[in-house]
Structure 1
Amino acid sequence: MSAVTAVLPAAGRSFEAEADVLIIGAGAAGLVAALAASEAGAEVVVVERDALPSGSTALSAGLIPAAATRFQRAAGIEDSAELFAADIMAKAGNEPDPAIVWRLTAHVGPVLEWLADRHGLPFDVVTNFSYPGHSARRMHGLPKRTGSELVDRLREAAEARDIPILTGFRATTLFTDPAGRVAGIAGTRPGGGEEPIGCRALVLACNGYGGNRALVAKHIPEMVDALWFGHSGNEGDAVLWGDALGADLVAMSGHQGHGSVAHPHGILITWATIMEGGFQVNARGERFSDESHGYSEQAATVLAQPGGKAWTIFDGRIAAIARQFEDFRNAEAQGAIVQAQDIASLARMLGLPPDALAATAAEVEALKQGNGSDRFGRDFRGAQPLAAPFCAVAVTGALFHTQGGLRIDPQARVLRPDGSAFANLFACGGAAVGVSGRRASGYLSGNGLLTAVGLGEIAGREAARLASVDPA
């Protein structure tokens, strides 16, 4: 166990402050849980280690996949929870718990509509490109297409309901009775000693363990040297507490990588640069994979190239689509995006072999015309040809967040290996096992925020229901 996480007996402990529902973590999962619990009538307290709520959410594009929403209908998109569930299971090789997958795909759409109607979050759907593995365009986002915008709006909604968010609070200890019921927690704040808070129900919304290199080395050794692009606070507190409690930890090797982080700028580059007809090359100017499979599994593939990097080649039309994302605009402003009027000039600017890059670009254009088959298996047919100005960005692979975690039931209750549930312990977001299975290739775009927002609402509402009937 980490030196800063512990599970201790509750006997003899007293708590000067108490909450019906106590939530550890104020990213999207924790804030959605707080809103749901508060609206269900519970007294809610959120503790957050940072000075301002952010978490992994703030580092993402803030896009949440959901099916059969009114936002899709307004855009003329046909979709269903069944189709969404099938996409998740297909991408993850049928490894995730089907009951959790179905609960999420049927539930997340109404959650987004609740957030829009009750809390004023102006969602709409990304309609001008498709994400790999999704059978319909179902990515919902806010106008800036940033996770920081999403977490800021959720924080504002929580503040409007007068939900206390104790920032700078580093939760360290859970106090439990012999049956595993959580009586409360303790933590530290800057300039103060230990601060205990009692609760009737506890929600772990403190994300995964990607920032804990020892746990990454144990569970995902192939990514131990990868750029860590997640939140520094993802040190595995939830899984460490769960392990100490005897909870079931599953799919611990599951994770989301990304094969498109601008190097050395450290800015996420949208996968629209690939899905709209772009491609990646290595230092030899050669393609090395089917880039369309998914950005998560592409992380390790990019890292395996010479120097651990690659170049994404696209054009001005694709750049115009990518500019809807603030990250891409920032990458342009910092000079990460290179532009030229022809492939030879682009190669010279990138320091790549001009003849090799020209041959690769010509091969891709032939494949788009249906001439031949791609040796890596990508189907380029129907993609628009690239045209001047040609664009490129140097990228590397990164680890974004982990997908393994605490096994839960459809009510977001934490489970033991025998399938029994802890009396008053819930998990959501990165603290809970995701729906991506055990491999990076199982990650379907948006799975992280799907479980954050979908499970967050479930965990908050169920915790409030439990607290209302629990006399403890």
Structure 2
Amino acid sequence: MPTQDVALPEGSTSICDVLVLGAGGSGLAAAVAAAQSGARVIVLEKAATFGGSTAMAVGAFAAPMTSLQRKAGIADSVEEFISDLEHTNGAFEERENHELRRLFAFNAASTLDWLIGLGVRFLGPFPEPPHRHPRTHLVLPNSKSYTATLRATARRLSVRIVLSSPAGELLRNSTGAVIGARSADGTYLASRGVVIATGDFSASADLLRSGIGEAASRVSPVNPGNTGDGHLLGQSAGGQLVQMDTAFETLRYAPRTRPDVLKAMPAHPAFARLAAPVANHLPRPLFDFFTKGAMISWLAPSPAMYTAGAIHVSSSGTRVANEESTSELARGVAAHGNRSFMLFESGVAAAFSRGGDPIAAFPGVAQAYLEDVRRFRPDLLTEAPTLQELATELRVPASALITTVTRWNDSIDTGTDTDYGREHFGAGIRQGPFFALGPLQAVVTLTNGGLAVDTDLRVLDRTGTPIAGLFAAGSAGQGGLQLLNNGLHIGWAMTSGRLAGTAAARSPILTGSPNTHLSAAFL
């Protein structure tokens, strides 16, 4: 019989085969896969609703050799996919977990087809340079479709989802195997194991500070629920945390005052089935209406605009960092009030208008130019004939802004940025009218560090030995895997969740009552 999301009475004890911590994409994938393997499954989610970061994402899933590629006549291979990932990794290739990359590469297509079988629908595949083949599959109608479909499937499979119930402790038996967890509302015992699928640590100032630095800890997360709970729980059970020094810091526009059209669409599987044939035959103007406003809202302005001559200023009218470093710029913006603007002159505006370079792009899907910002997000583009008037429109001190622009133009004339060491200058900011994009805010979109796992998604201790009864998936179980292109994080979340849930359901039954509890406050 299908179940409903529930909150259990305080102090209760529940028994299951597999306990999943987290009801985001990887957690729900793990729950469904475990239930499909015959396991009784309970999911604990600390938030009042399900979805996690997956429901907030763009929704791209990158995979080779998929059924949609074959349907489009695209000949691809796993080895070519791996080769392309190696190329895009660049200097990060030396940090790559090659075993997990092969695990992902060989199972991504079957996971995508598994999702399609459950009712998820995709558009594409689309190209993602420098990948040699189109591999980007865009979920329809939005990223909430993943978790809505997985939750509906989980209910049909009698998975119990307990909301507003963060796990505070892991429970072990006399042999040290993890056999459950304890939350504020009760105890949950799992006969075959626990899957940690709690997302990343982008909202943990302590973990950001210890792994990356103080400046990174001041940048706000996209998902405030990603506080690294599972990382700490896994570590408290002896799990090893790896590559905790990487975060994706960037800029995003201030949220729009009205709902995003794409995000507002219902994510029910029935609607997704209807959306797929419609999306494939939308007239281009209507397709642009649905995609360009969302794209402009989700993506920061192209870094090429800085190369062409734009600068970035805080609400005080001063530059805050070297604009050519995304992380330095994000940290600088966060340290100066977290309200900022990209400033440029008419020449740059012309270069990024229609017929020139895009200010934002989904490769192979759509490109946006300044005219599109004016049309779809007019609140983000300010134009004025003078810097004085521009400053007034932006509510920025005019004297400070004019001084900043004068100093920047002087840097171009001397060929040296004595403030921040920027190397590419462009023509400067001299010719009106003058423009600003913003306000822009600094955000951490995600982090790459996680628990070390093997190819069965079992959490590993510092000696590389699997911890009995403990699995991890998604960002919590990233294990040193480099995911540096669009569509790889959701691809890994779904693939690792599916594999972890299956592995946990097929694990030997763990025996013994709990004799040790492990707190998330371990550090």
Q: Please say if 1:311 is aligned against 2:342.
A: yes
- RMSD (Å), alpha carbons: 4.2
CA distance in 1, matches of 2:85, 2:303: 19
Offset at 1:316? 5.4
1:400 aligned counterpart, secondary structure: strand
Counterpart residue type for residue 115 of structure 1? L
Q: 1:82 to 1:256 in 2, by over 3 A?
A: farther
Q: How does 1:292-311 map to 2 (within 5 A)?
A: 298-304=326-332, 307=336, 309-311=340-342
- Counterpart for residue 80 of structure 2: 83
Which residue, out of 297, 311, 318, partners 1:281?
A: 311
CA distance in 2, matches of 1:85, 1:342: 51
Offset at 1:339? 6.9
Q: How does 1:140-219 map to 2 (within 5 A)?
A: 140-144=137-141, 146-189=142-185, 194-219=186-211
**Alpha-carbon contact 1:205-1:429 (below 8 Å) kept:** yes
Q: Please say if 1:228 is aligned against 2:221.
A: yes
- Counterpart for residue 29 of structure 1: 26
CA distance in 2, matches of 1:263, 1:58: 19
Offset at 1:112? 0.5
- Counterpart for residue 119 of structure 2: 120
- Counterpart for residue 260 of structure 1: 251
Q: 1:447 to 1:343 in 2, by over 3 A?
A: farther
Counterpart residue type for residue 301 of structure 1? L
CA distance in 1, matches of 2:425, 2:73: 31
Counterpart residue type for residue 455 of structure 1? S
Counterpart residue type for residue 139 of structure 2? L
Which residue, out of 50, 53, 64, partners 2:50?
A: 53
Offset at 1:260? 3.3
- Counterpart for residue 472 of structure 2: 427
**Alpha-carbon contact 1:255-1:443 (below 8 Å) kept:** no
* TM-score scaled by length of structure 1: 0.73
- Counterpart for residue 72 of structure 1: 69
CA distance in 2, matches of 1:160, 1:332: 44
Larger radius of gyration, structure 1 or 2? 2
Offset at 1:23? 0.5
CA distance in 2, matches of 1:34, 1:331: 44
Counterpart residue type for residue 282 of structure 1? H
Q: 1:198 to 1:303 in 2, by over 3 A?
A: closer
- Counterpart for residue 404 of structure 1: 449
CA distance in 2, matches of 1:427, 1:256: 21
Q: 1:269 to 1:84 in 2, by over 3 A?
A: farther
1:466 aligned counterpart, secondary structure: coil
Which residue, out of 375, 381, 384, partners 1:338?
A: 381
**Alpha-carbon contact 2:13-2:188 (below 8 Å) kept:** yes
Q: 1:471 to 1:173 in 2, by over 3 A?
A: closer
Q: How does 1:106-117 map to 2 (within 5 A)?
A: 106-116=106-116
Counterpart residue type for residue 462 of structure 1? A
Q: 1:126 to 1:298 in 2, by over 3 A?
A: farther
CA distance in 1, matches of 2:171, 2:102: 33
Deviates more, 1:174-183 or 1:37-46: 174-183
2:507 aligned counterpart, secondary structure: helix
CA distance in 2, matches of 1:288, 1:161: 52
CA distance in 1, matches of 2:245, 2:173: 31
Q: 1:99 to 1:436 in 2, by over 3 A?
A: closer
Q: 1:75 to 1:340 in 2, by over 3 A?
A: farther
Q: How does 1:409-420 map to 2 (within 5 A)?
A: 409-420=454-465
1:94 aligned counterpart, secondary structure: helix
Deviates more, 1:408-417 or 1:71-80: 71-80
Which consecutive residues of structure 1, in runs of 5 or more, have no partner in the other structure? Answer: 1-13, 292-296, 364-373, 379-389
Counterpart residue type for residue 450 of structure 2? G
Offset at 1:187? 1.1
2:459 aligned counterpart, secondary structure: strand
**Alpha-carbon contact 2:76-2:133 (below 8 Å) kept:** yes
Q: 1:175 to 1:287 in 2, by over 3 A?
A: closer
Offset at 1:452? 1.0
- Counterpart for residue 418 of structure 2: none
Task: Tell me the percent identity.
Answer: 24
Q: 1:15 to 1:173 in 2, by over 3 A?
A: same
**Alpha-carbon contact 1:29-1:429 (below 8 Å) kept:** yes
2:210 aligned counterpart, secondary structure: helix
**Alpha-carbon contact 1:414-1:422 (below 8 Å) kept:** yes
Q: 1:168 to 1:74 in 2, by over 3 A?
A: same
Q: 1:443 to 1:130 in 2, by over 3 A?
A: closer
Offset at 1:137? 3.4
CA distance in 2, matches of 1:104, 1:346: 53
CA distance in 1, matches of 2:145, 2:72: 22
**Alpha-carbon contact 1:256-1:443 (below 8 Å) kept:** no
Offset at 1:420? 0.9
CA distance in 2, matches of 1:27, 1:227: 20
1:282 aligned counterpart, secondary structure: strand
Offset at 1:210? 2.0
Which consecutive residues of structure 2, in runs of 5 or more, have no partner in the other structure? Answer: 1-10, 258-293, 344-348, 413-421, 427-434, 513-523
